[in-house]
Amino acid sequence: MKKLYVYITSSIYNIRHNKAYAAFVIFGTALTFIFISIVLQLTNEVVNNVPPFVNADRQIKIEAYRQYRSESGETGNTGFKLSEIPLFLKDVGNYQLCAIAYQTSESVFVNNRFLYRTLIAYVNGDYWRLNNFNFIKGRSFSEEETESNANVAIVSSAFADANFKTDEILGEKIELNNRTYTIVGVVGEYANLINYPAGIWVSYKSQPQNRLYNLDILPNKEVEIDEFKGDVLQAMKRHYAKKSIDLDMKSTEIVTLKESRIADVGGDVLSYGISIILLILLIIPAINIVAISIASVNNRATEIAIRRSMGASVFSSFILIIVENLLLVVVGVIVGISLSFPMIDLMNSLSTNMTAFGKISFISSNNIWTPILYTIPLALLFTLLSGGIPAYLIAKGKIAQVLKGDFNRNVSSNRRVSAIMVEQVLIFIILMISMVFITTTVDRYYEPGLVGVDNVVNFSCYRANSDDEVSRKMGILVEDLKKNSNVKAFSVEREFAPYYFYPKCDSVTIDGVIIDAFIKYTDENTLNVFGLELIEGGWFTKETIANKALEVVITQDIADKLNWNESVGRKISFNGVDHIVVGVLDGFRQNTFNKHRPSIIFPYVSNRVHTVSVRVKDVDTFTVDLYNQWNKLMKDNSITFNLAELERE
């Protein structure tokens, strides 16, 4: 204990007389451990039972729209319809809770404006019992409210903060699918980067019976998870056998929420990637500190040599020096961990989800023990990396050589130069990688084909079992648009708007060359709506569309692949029918840094109207008018109305 006291007092003395060096080490360490702490927190969110998902390692996750395969090679989606769930769960047995959820994005009307593509979760009562959400206001809806499909809703705190100017959120109204819901609870923020970041929760009973639902099943406490996976697998096989499907699935494909997260992130990323990232984060700043540490330790060379000449061992001399570095590293680690939490809050506050009205929380930022527990061994490793080499060289140095000054000159001229050279090589590699990334980004910025989407609104309407009535009423809406003074231009289309999540991509053979291209359909007004510019030829006309002319417009990259110097007048065969190229766009992409999309655009000749894009003067005014008009025409719970401001997509 007395020796430790000597080591510490000696280190503090040297720190006080070498403030610049101490400040450099503390700053470098703090910066390093800010990022290390964030990486550890992110990893913790994936692999541990972090609230609200406190059963992540035991709840079996069966996702809707995950692909299954049969023994004969057929594929399909693994979700369950509501009518199928009770019998399936009865067959599984040995479970205590089953959360049912259907998750989607829909337009919501609140405070006289639309929220575009808001993330909605339709859930049952077990969803709230299985997951330990933090209700900062109000409550979850009761089992009775859930089963009776009561008009009550729960919202996230991010949604509440973005859309209500009052703290008295409970009792406020939102309108979803022609129903007015009353807010009864507000859920606090949680790490939703690796989980579905819902903004609104309502009863699953408000969705059609034929939807496919996610299931999260929690086994009874005494049931081993591997045993329960086998039970679920056998129940699934019997379920599909009733549909004459021999399910080809192994128990390893039945996964917990934790296993699903790890698979989504990438198992190798967690196994090797995190370790590599942490090692890089430790090594690079440590090399910076090594170069400075050598100069600092050289100042103590004579002191160490005298101590050794008086009987001090190499080990005690090494410890004397390393304790100083350890004290500085500990201070830096404490500062780094402390700063990591406001950094996490900043990351969360700057991020937005696809609704543009809520936030993605990267990390819960409520678990201080994760960085503390894991950074203790990392801090010791960092101490050895940054100060161990200089300390060892001085402690091991020959006493006579050190006292004559030869050792200092040798270390200064050789070891320090070597350390700096290694550091510069690493920094050069990192800078080169950064330059490649920056160059690629700049090149993408200047790629052709940027589509003008400012003040462009896209809306669509569909019914589970689509019929002509929906199209007829959409046609009435289109006619009303012609009279709206707020409308500058509009087009009727299908799978054209750049934001469209699942555009149809086909392999098209042209002049013997196979090209993967996005297939889009639109009318004669699109040039005015999206501000498109042709570099060759022209666009469809009202007359050619009315006559169902077999025309297409292509992007320039398709012409380049075919080595066409002139494209207008060329033939493209699609689905066995020849079409004539009448125009060429230089490209087609929505956002500044989106990848360019090779596209073939056909005239929309159908009389059915389901999707419309509109360029308007004022978006908020238009969306309110549009919603009121649609409400009068189609007040029908089976019809889904989607509206998006493309600039926010």
Q: 292-296, 499-503, 515-519: lowest mean pLDDT where?
A: 499-503
Q: How confident is the model at residue 112 (pLDDT cuts 50, 70, 90)?
A: confident
The residue among 383, 370, 283 whose CA lies nearest residue 331 is: 383
Q: How confident is the model at residue 417 (pLDDT cuts 50, 70, 90)?
A: very low
Task: Look at 153 and 198; give whichever has higher pLDDT.
Answer: 153
**Per-residue tokens: 73:** 């090679």
Q: Dihedral of CA 399/403/406/408: which sign?
A: positive
Q: How do residues 2-38 score in pLDDT, each as one tens digit?
A: 666 666 777 777 777 777 778 877 887 888 788 888 7
pLDDT of 354 > 50? The answer is: no
CB atoms closer than 10 angstroms to residue 431? 10
Q: How do residues 229-252 score in pLDDT, each as one tens digit?
A: 999 999 998 998 888 888 888 878
Q: How confident is the model at residue 355 (pLDDT cuts 50, 70, 90)?
A: very low
Q: CA 372, CA 100: separation in Å to the nearest integer?
A: 37
Q: 81-90, 191-200, 345-354, 585-594: lowest mean pLDDT where?
A: 345-354
Backbone φ/ψ region at 501: left (φ over 0), alpha (ψ -120 to 50), beta: alpha
pLDDT at 60: 93
Buried b (16+ CB within 10 A) or exposed e, 492-519: bbbbbbbbbeeeeeeebebeeeebebbb
pLDDT at 358: 47
pLDDT at 353: 43
Q: What mean pLDDT do residues 172-195 have? A: 82
> For 198, which DSSP code?
-
Inter-residue contact 187 to 62 (CB < 8 Å): no
Q: What mean pLDDT do residues 598-612 have? A: 86
Inter-residue contact 634 to 476 (CB < 8 Å): no
pLDDT at 58: 93
Q: How confident is the model at residue 227 (pLDDT cuts 50, 70, 90)?
A: very high
Write down the mean pLDDT value for the chain: 78
Q: How do residues 541-562 score in pLDDT, each as one tens digit?
A: 888 888 878 899 999 888 888 8
pLDDT at 460: 83
Residue whose token pair is 């019998």: 87
Global pTM value: 0.66
Percent above pLDDT 90 for the chain: 18
pLDDT at 210: 74
